[in-house]
Amino acid sequence: MPDCTKNFNLAQQKEKIKYKLDVRALEKEELGRFLANLQEKPYRANQVFHWVQARAVQSWQQMTNLSVTLREKLAANFNLVPLKLMKEQVSRDGTRKYLWELADGELIESVLLFHEGDYTRKRTTLCLSTQVGCPMGCGFCATGKLGFKRNLTAGEIVSQVLDLSTQFKINNLVYMGMGEPLLNLPDVLKSIKLLNHKEGQNIGIRRITISTCGLVPQIEQLALSGLDFVLAISLHAPNNELRNQIMPVNRQYPIEELIRACRDYIAKTGQRITFEYALIKDFNDSLQSAKELAQLLQGIKANINIIPINSINQGLYRRPSAQVVRRFVSFLQEKGLAVVIREEKGSDIAGACGQLAGR
Ligand code: SF4
């Protein structure tokens, strides 16, 4: 028999949250304005912001230095809705994948990765989702196969960090999970401001990376955002002929336009761009491709991440041998480009690049 209670509960939940503001999506100044309208003193905004963004409380009751009356007032005017954890998987390499249910019943995933950093400093990186599904349809990506349902709110993006922050010290963020972040720009930028806030999670701005498949007008907008996060471009092919086959966005914004936008971005921001290149066997892994890639990125302030692809789609996209990967990378390095091979993590739990499918 179908479980009707789930839909009923969801409908109740949706009704409950419809008319109230999500406190996790409010910047401190906004919170201050709303609290002033509720006749509360300015310092209350500091207290509430600290509880919400730094301490990541799950309920109003946990705000123990606020009176019961104030907590009731807050509960009457704002939502504080943590994500519902549906599943946690742990990979052999320690990577953890989380399946979350949102208030309207939609599902998203986040992936937590652990790295030994330089000078033995540990890095803990959370890969965040920004949309339910994705409309961009990249051929090698499991999220793209789901189609698009909706954008996440700033509160839902921030919540992926907050709901794990009580267990893990997260110090890097990559907006590379489900969805194309630049199609959800206002909420993505707001979430960055919240997560970077000194009185919140305080994640350094240069430790936050936004990745895009190559939406030129939004890259131009980003250059004016005034935020110094790292921009990553999912390039994945050195020419239009190949890129058209795996990334439909390339038909709208061909590679020359994309590279022109990247050069303008660097000129305006002074920042280096990261280019992601998923290496696919017998598709874009030849020396000829390496040569074209080197020519394309010559003179650009760039870091190149080479990612030997994770197989999806019944082996249609296959991983090149270690020898071919090394040959490709050495060629680029000999041309003076800054290249690293990105270590694959979490592939046994479908948590690696291109594998997130909300399951
Ligand atoms: S790679 Fe990114 S932009 Fe492309 S379909 Fe997947 S989630 Fe969307």
Strand 107-116 versus strand 122-127 pairing type:
antiparallel
Strand 172-175 versus strand 148-151 pairing type:
unpaired
**Complete domains list, the chain, with CATH:** 20-79 (1.10.150.530), 103-349 (3.20.20.70)
Q: Is 141 in the pocket of ligand 1 (CB under 6 A)?
A: yes
Choosing from 27, 30, 109, 343, which is the catalytic residue? 109
Q: How far is the CA of 48 from the centre of ligand 1 (A)?
A: 36
User: How far is the C-alpha of 250 from the C-alpha of 254, rounded, in Å?
Assistant: 5
The torsion region of residue 230 among left (phi > 0), alpha (psi -120 to 50) and beta comes to: beta
**pLDDT average, residue stretch 40-52:** 97
Choosing from 127, 141, 213, 353, which is the catalytic residue? 353
Is 109 noted as a catalytic residue in this protein?
Answer: yes
85-97 tens-digit pLDDT: 999 999 999 999 9
Going by alpha carbons, the residue nearest to atom 5 of ligand 1 is: 144
Is 292 noted as a catalytic residue in this protein?
Answer: no
In the chain, what percentage of residues exceed pLDDT 90?
Answer: 81
* Nearby residues of 174 by Cβ (< 8 Å), 6 or more positions away: 125, 126, 127, 128, 208, 209, 211, 232
* Of the candidate ranges 89-93, 114-118, 233-237, 251-255, the one whose mean pLDDT is the lowest: 114-118
- Confidence (pLDDT) at 119: 46
Instruction: Please name every residue paired with 107 in a beta bridge, in sequence order, or none if there are none.
Output: 101
150-200 tens-digit pLDDT: 999 999 999 999 999 999 999 999 999 999 999 999 999 999 999 999 999
Q: Is 134 in the pocket of ligand 1 (CB under 6 A)?
A: yes
- Confidence (pLDDT) at 14: 60
274-295 tens-digit pLDDT: 999 999 999 999 999 999 999 9
Tally helices (H) and strands (E) across the chain. 12, 14
User: How far is the C-alpha of 74 from the C-alpha of 52, rounded, in Å?
Assistant: 12
